[in-house]
Structure 1
Amino acid sequence: MNGGGGKAAQAARRWRRWSRQRIVWLLLLCALCGGTLVVFIYFQGLKLAYLLRPVWDTPAPPFNVYPHYYAANISVARRCELHNWKVRFEPRRVFDAILFSNELDLLDIRLHELQPHVHRFVIVESDRTFTGRKKPLFFAENRQRFEFVQDRVAYGRARGRELLPGEDPFLLERFQRRETSRIIVEAGIGYNDLLIMSDVDEIPSAHSIELLRWCDGWQAPLHLQMKNYIHSFEFPVDYSSWRASVHIFDPETTGYTHKRRSDFMLADSGWHCSFCFRHLSDIQFKMLAYSHADRVRHQFFLDPARIQAIICEGRDLFDMLPEEYTFREIISKMGPVPKSSSAVNLPAYLIEHIEDFRFLLPGGCVREPQAATRHLLGQLSIQSTQQRWT
């Protein structure tokens, strides 16, 4: 009896020791898995959110898209007819309103593209970024570059301020857009004039604006579908850009915005070239200055060598997945954007001055290292920027 009881006690002790060891190993495994999960979320959390976007988000209703008929040497009257619109006896005045940061080259291309059809360019800039940091007035400091439209530029300052702790950068962006609405009115826009609302890098084609100013019958506000590019015109992405819009101005209802304002869109109406800068330092500046600066999750994202490699490979600067609403679209757009050797159907001024803009064209991916924004990067470090909204 005692012998049997002793064996049972020994077995029980061994079982307890084994159980304790198993619990310890289980706890260690849980800690390891938990730590791995924390590290993964820290480094890849935003990417995971975009991967699961089809689960938690739904797209807006599709646009009603006007087919766009255009070929060189076809009169605007004939083009109005092709769209089932009526030609006007005289064209509407056009105001092009631009909230400007530091996109000097794209602004140059845009102004040359649109100058035959624009009555007034309303250029607005602030001494603060959307993340609340001080910045130079780049347009004011480089105004001599744009003397060719000097008599048609209405320049205004949008008041800026620091971003308070916990505030969203989009709050300051919306504030600057409201300021732009005020400056547009001060520039002399009138009832029934056309107003273009788009970011600097969303460039409407000249023939699209010519069509809209000469024709009656299209639904306003009208969004402009644009071909998306990243880094340069060497990397065409898709035709998903829709935020640019044209409005028939009404002082009671028209306000400067970058949101969806109607269900109507004109197909293939321009170019949206994201992060298309001449200098690496300008790219770094924008990464830390615009409303999505929270995408700069790690300091090494700003490494010039990394940025240069990404530009030449057609990859995403923020190591993010495509912003799509189905898993099929996400998978189809993963990886680098394929290069294009075509420089057809691009802004005329860009092609006419090809030696000045090689960096925007096929084969010209190497960037110049620095510009006037370089000295600002210390102020706009990832830590100093992120602490504004954390």
Structure 2
Amino acid sequence: MGRTSMCRMKIKKHKLFLFFSVGLCVVSFLYCYKTLHQEFLLRDLSHHKSSLKSLVILSGFLWGDPLSNNSFLFNTNNRKDVEKAMRQKNYDEKKQPVADFVMPDPTGPHGELHKRTFSLQDDHTPHFIHTEMGALCFRDGTDMASSKGKPSYTKDNEDQKLKHKKNSTVVEHTLKPGRNVSECVCRQGWHGPNCGVPTVIQHSNLHTKSHLKLRKVPRRIINAININHEFDLLHVRFHELADAVDLFLVCESNFTAYGDSKPLTFLQLLLNGTFDYIKHKILYIFLDHFPKGGRANGWIVDDYLRTFLTKNGLSRIQGLRPDDVFVLNDADEIPVKEGILFLKLYDGWTEPFGIHMRKSLYGFYWRQMGTLDVISGCTMAMLVSVYKGDGILLRRREYFSMPGFRQYEKTSGHVLIPWSIGSPVHYGGWHCSWCFKPEGIYYKLVSAQNGDFPRWGDFVEKRKLSYIRELIRTGGWFDGSTPHYPPTNPSEHMFAPKYLLDNYEKYDYLLENPYAKG
């Protein structure tokens, strides 16, 4: 009887071992399949004419293969939901019909906007000003009337000095010998001996604030975004950041994130003069295809959009330097100007950096609790050496496990410590989610990727404009919940970007609830 029991136990152990062995083989097979699938996807992108292999950049750095397999990671979030949805619905993977669109005539005044290059130039804006006593003060952060001495030159003299220096790559930010920088008197919200450190930096978690120093040559700021139909927020971004950003990379596709065809509305607005006030700082990026597998798994699309935006855009920029700054945002994320300008003018901060953003829903009047803290930027040197020039890798918090991290940390000479502009109390920007009129929310529902489940656009009742208007009125969500938001007032600090408040009547639907009872 004892021998029989022992034999049974051995058989069970062998069965258990066999079961785990089969399971391991299945997992290994799925992993290999996923890797090969992504390799084919990236190979399509690498065939693009603007491949980064042609870009020689950054003090002896030469782009390696910019589209290696490990530069495009599969997002495992919501994997169970994805698998469930794939079982429930047979997704059509056939090529979607392409919307009618006409690219600019190559021989016309606009040329081929989606193929143009952009030459980065130095910013000669006189952000700092000397007083008669020799103090070097940040113009926007200094109360000149209270500062000791008067400005050593007027605005006209500044213009003359700027013209005199226009061929120079150096903007003098040094003190006159023997003078005390403490003569700068800071306005409220500004700090530091030169009054150039804004509150969103002073009260951030940056550990190297005591090591900050002014640069002689400002960095250049590159802000990259993908655009669908967030055109009002795009105006807000341009007006908020125009004085801080040197180049906006704006990517538009003739496909929605769901895979349906759509018109190139941003291109039309760009050509009809709507964005003439900022078009000299825009590099238009056109994504003319939908990634294979994106209809079934929306996370492929989500990743691919940022990858294409970054690689296509950077391959068309001339004159990049290692210390230039790359900032990647979603269209509904708007950084505050002061924080971005700080990155441009100061040395001593670490990387990568995030942004603490005030969270709003449907409009700035529904303020959500807490902040959205998103890793948003780094220097070009880190983007190339660690992230392999891939924007989607920047958005993740896995830089310390990437192959080039230790070598870049050693080369840069300082420990890489992530930090964020702003704090949960002092916002470094705004995140306005679903901030459209009802028709815009409807379009967002039907355009949404097939990955962030539940996909509310699949429910007919959720797409009704009457239902959407009620959500806006109550601040409710598509799952039927109605959170309690704290009361807000347009007069409160950081309620909304200044451009919206200065144009209140035009954008009142974003600033006050249009369906609230009087």
Normalising by the residue count of structure 2, what TM-score does the alignment of the two structures yield? 0.51
Quickly say closer, same or farther: Cα 1:362–1:306, change in 2 above 3 A: same
CA contact (8 A) 2:251 2:287 kept: yes
2:433 is aligned to: 274
CA contact (8 A) 1:199 1:244 kept: no
Task: Give per-residue Cα distances to partners, 1:29-72, cap 9 Å, x unaligned.
Answer: xxxxxxxxxxxxxxxxx9xx9xxxxxxxxxxxxxxxxxxx9945
Identity of aligned residues (%): 23
Shift of 1:183: 2.4
- Of 319, 327, 342 in structure 1, the residue corresponding to residue 479 of structure 2 is 319
Task: Give per-residue Cα distances to partners, 1:125-175, cap 9 Å, x unaligned.
Answer: 111112111111121021122110111110011233276487211102211
Higher RCO (CA-CA < 8 Å; seq separation 6+): 1
Shift of 1:236: 0.8
2:466 is aligned to: 305
1:289 maps onto 2:406 in alignment: no
- Of 504, 507, 511 in structure 2, the residue corresponding to residue 357 of structure 1 is 507
CA contact (8 A) 1:221 1:261 kept: no
1:347 maps onto 2:497 in alignment: yes
Shift of 1:75: 7.5
Task: Give per-residue Cα distances to partners, 1:188-220, cap 9 Å, x unaligned.
Answer: 343221111110110000011111211212221
SS in 2 for 1:182: helix
1:104-115 equivalences in 2 (<5 Å): 104-115=231-242
Aligned residues between the structures: 286
2:274 is aligned to: 145
Distance (Å, rounded) in 1 between the aligned partners of 2:283 and 2:435: 25
Kindly report the root-mean-square deviation, in angstroms, between the aligned alpha carbons of the 2 structures: 2.7
1:220 maps onto 2:220 in alignment: no
Distance (Å, rounded) in 1 between the aligned partners of 2:341 and 2:193: 7
1:381 is aligned to: none
CA contact (8 A) 2:448 2:455 kept: no
Moved over 6 A (4+): none
Shift of 1:107: 0.3
Distance (Å, rounded) in 1 between the aligned partners of 2:293 and 2:438: 29
Distance (Å, rounded) in 2 between the aligned partners of 1:158 and 1:347: 30
CA contact (8 A) 1:130 1:170 kept: no
Distance (Å, rounded) in 2 between the aligned partners of 1:198 and 1:76: 31
| Letter paired with 1:177 | R
1:182 is aligned to: 311
Task: Give per-residue Cα distances to partners, 1:349-381, cap 9 Å, x unaligned.
Answer: 111111110011124458xxxxxxxxxxxxxxx
- Of 371, 377, 380 in structure 2, the residue corresponding to residue 249 of structure 1 is 380
Distance (Å, rounded) in 1 between the aligned partners of 2:469 and 2:236: 23
SS in 2 for 1:260: coil
CA contact (8 A) 1:343 1:362 kept: no
SS in 2 for 1:122: strand
CA contact (8 A) 1:97 1:122 kept: yes
2:370 is aligned to: 239
1:1-390 equivalences in 2 (<5 Å): 71-72=188-189, 77-80=194-197, 83-84=209-210, 85-143=212-270, 144-161=273-290, 164=293, 167-185=296-314, 186-188=316-318, 189-250=320-381, 251-253=384-386, 254-257=389-392, 258-260=395-397, 263-267=418-422, 268-277=427-436, 279-291=437-449, 292=452, 294-296=454-456, 297-316=458-477, 318-319=478-479, 335-344=483-492, 345=494, 346-365=496-515
Distance (Å, rounded) in 2 between the aligned partners of 1:206 and 1:284: 31
Quickly say closer, same or farther: Cα 1:73–1:337, change in 2 above 3 A: closer
CA contact (8 A) 1:88 1:215 kept: yes
CA contact (8 A) 2:215 2:346 kept: yes
Higher share in helix: 1
CA contact (8 A) 1:122 1:187 kept: no
Distance (Å, rounded) in 1 between the aligned partners of 2:260 and 2:278: 30
Distance (Å, rounded) in 2 between the aligned partners of 1:215 and 1:204: 17
| Letter paired with 2:298 | P
2:58 is aligned to: none
Quickly say closer, same or farther: Cα 1:115–1:214, change in 2 above 3 A: same
SS in 1 for 2:250: strand
CA contact (8 A) 1:198 1:244 kept: no
SS in 1 for 2:255: coil
Distance (Å, rounded) in 1 between the aligned partners of 2:374 and 2:480: 21
Distance (Å, rounded) in 2 between the aligned partners of 1:101 and 1:214: 32
Distance (Å, rounded) in 1 between the aligned partners of 2:352 and 2:368: 26
Quickly say closer, same or farther: Cα 1:165–1:204, change in 2 above 3 A: closer
Distance (Å, rounded) in 1 between the aligned partners of 2:306 and 2:439: 26
Shift of 1:293: 6.5
CA contact (8 A) 1:93 1:119 kept: yes
Distance (Å, rounded) in 1 between the aligned partners of 2:193 and 2:501: 24
| Letter paired with 1:264 | W
Distance (Å, rounded) in 1 between the aligned partners of 2:371 and 2:480: 17
CA contact (8 A) 2:252 2:266 kept: yes
Shift of 1:255: 2.1
Shift of 1:74: 5.7
